[in-house]
Amino acid sequence: MDLQNEKCVMIIDEQLPPGLIANTAAIMGITLGKNMPEVVGADVCDKNGNAHLGIIEFPVPILKENVDTIKAVRKKLFEPEYADLTVVDFSDLAQSCKTYDEFAGRMRAASEPELSYLGIAICGTKKKVNKLTGSMPLLR
């Protein structure tokens, strides 16, 4: 993987309260780390010899959008042109579940149009990620 040519962004619903924004970003980040371990750098030590786990080797901007735009971008990600991108979505359905088994069961019973996304993370070539997200503002 050419890390210089890779980009990863998170797009989060700008109407969420701060706690849900943080939760959405954390959950998507953990999932990305599991699915893309090659982008996490080696562990490092500080000058006192204390160990620090490796972090992702490139920035991950967090962008803001409304739920309709997030849904439209998620729909585009099902197109063959974007099949090579890594995508993590976090929906209202997922956020409302207490256990993973509940999430898995409810997701199997849900159709994609029923889902409302709190956030999506997209990783892949800069060109494709920018094509989808280049005009979106940063979440501040």
List the beta strands (DSSP E) in 1-139.
Answer: 6-13, 44-45, 51-52, 62-65, 86-91, 117-125
Q: Enumerate the domain spans of the chain.
A: 3-42+52-133
Q: Tell me the per-residue pLDDT of 59-118, one tens digit each, with 9 for 90 and over.
A: 899 999 999 999 999 999 999 999 999 999 999 999 999 999 999 999 999 999 999 999
pLDDT above 70 (res 1):
no
| Cβ atoms of residues 51 and 45 within 8 Å | yes
CATH number attached to the domain at 3-42+52-133:
3.40.1490.10
Angle between the N-to-C axes of helices 67-76 and 126-133, in degrees from 0 to 180, rounded to the nearest 10: 140
Kindly report the average pLDDT of the chain as a whole number: 94
CB contact at 8 A, 129 and 9: yes
Q: What is the pLDDT of residue 4?
A: 79
Residue 50 confidence (pLDDT) above 70: yes
Share above pLDDT 70 across residues of the chain, in percent, rounded to a whole number = 99
- Alpha-carbon span 118 to 125, nearest angstrom: 23
